[in-house]
Amino acid sequence: MEEAKKIVERYTPYAYSVALYLTGNQAEAWDLVQNAMLRVLKSFHTYDPSYKIEQWLHRIVRNLFIDRKRHEKRRREDPLERGPEEERRSYAETLVDPASTPEEAMERENRREAVQTAMSALPPEMRMAVALVDLEGYPYEEAAKILEIPASTLGVRVFRGRKLLKKNLQSFVEGKRT
């Protein structure tokens, strides 16, 4: 149990970054991380040391994310249970770089929102693949192991995800040229 607590303390920031890439929302990401860390504490005895902690933790966060999306899909099918969706911004997102002009800060925020919206529009499989390879910097082989798919499948998902991102960001880019 002591070792599990150390893992929770050490890897919570990593789990948060994975969760934030998957959810695109700070509050949802923290909720996902809390559930993941509870799962780590409860099921540490099932951890296989032949895998990296990051791989095991990523798998837990990913599975919880997928479970949540399935549950949300079922809830959306029942219009009586729908609640208002709120945009939440992290404290870090509200900070302004004192060295930048208001125009630069606005441009940076618009760009961040455009990328976040485009990432959120990707199917979950592609979003996870692109996040691991392009945002987290994992090599294809390691990202494929984390997602438990062949490297060739990961390559296809990353390629298609990038293609969709480019398409989804095209209007943003064209709007900046005019």
Whichever domain contains 36, its CATH number is: 1.10.1740.10
Last residue of a domain, one of 50, 80, 110: 80
Last residue of a domain, one of 19, 48, 80: 80
On the question of pLDDT at 106 being above 90, the answer is no
Tell me which range, 8-12, 62-66, 85-89, 97-101, is most confidently predicted by mean pLDDT: 8-12
Q: What is the DSSP string of 35-92?
A: HHHHHHHHHGGG--TTS-HHHHHHHHHHHHHHHHHHHHHHHHTSGGG---------HH
Could you tell me the residue range of the domain that residue 57 belongs to? 2-80
pLDDT 10s digits, 31-46: 999 999 999 899 888 8
102 belongs to a structural domain: yes
Statement to judge: residues 70 and 105 lie in one domain: no
121 belongs to a structural domain: yes
How does residue 98 score in pLDDT terms, banded at 50, 70 and 90? low
d(CA 173, CA 13): 32
Cα pseudo-dihedral 93, 98, 101, 103, rounded to 10: 10
Evaluate whether 148 touches 128 at the Cβ level (below 8 Å): no
Least confident of 4-8, 67-71, 147-151, 155-159: 67-71
On the question of pLDDT at 114 being above 90, the answer is no
How does residue 99 score in pLDDT terms, banded at 50, 70 and 90? low
Statement to judge: residues 49 and 120 lie in one domain: no
Statement to judge: residues 113 and 165 lie in one domain: yes
Last residue of a domain, one of 80, 112, 130: 80
